[in-house]
Amino acid sequence: MNIYNRCQDWLEQINGAASNISLPPAAVKDQATVMLIDRTGLPIKTIDMVGVFPTELGALSLDWSSNSTPLEFPITFAFDYIKS
């Protein structure tokens, strides 16, 4: 829930649902690293992204049939560019 709540707060900073007030783009964008891993957990490739921000946060899905992922939610990010 911590990650979900932080993403909700991040989206609220981009455009407040109740207040309709937003921070400047530079204040809400961040950097991210995506690491592609193989089936054994070893890294295959690392991608550094600049200007990352969430655009959509989906509903929480609670399912106890899977022990490894009882709680999931979709989130969509946009970014400015990928570092080479």
What does pTM read for this prediction?
0.75
pLDDT tens across the length of the chain (84 residues): 888 999 899 988 888 877 788 888 888 999 999 999 999 999 999 999 999 999 999 998 887 776 777 788 899 999 999 997
Distance CA 80, CA 26 (A): 11
Q: How many CA atoms lie within 13 A of 64 on its CB side?
A: 0
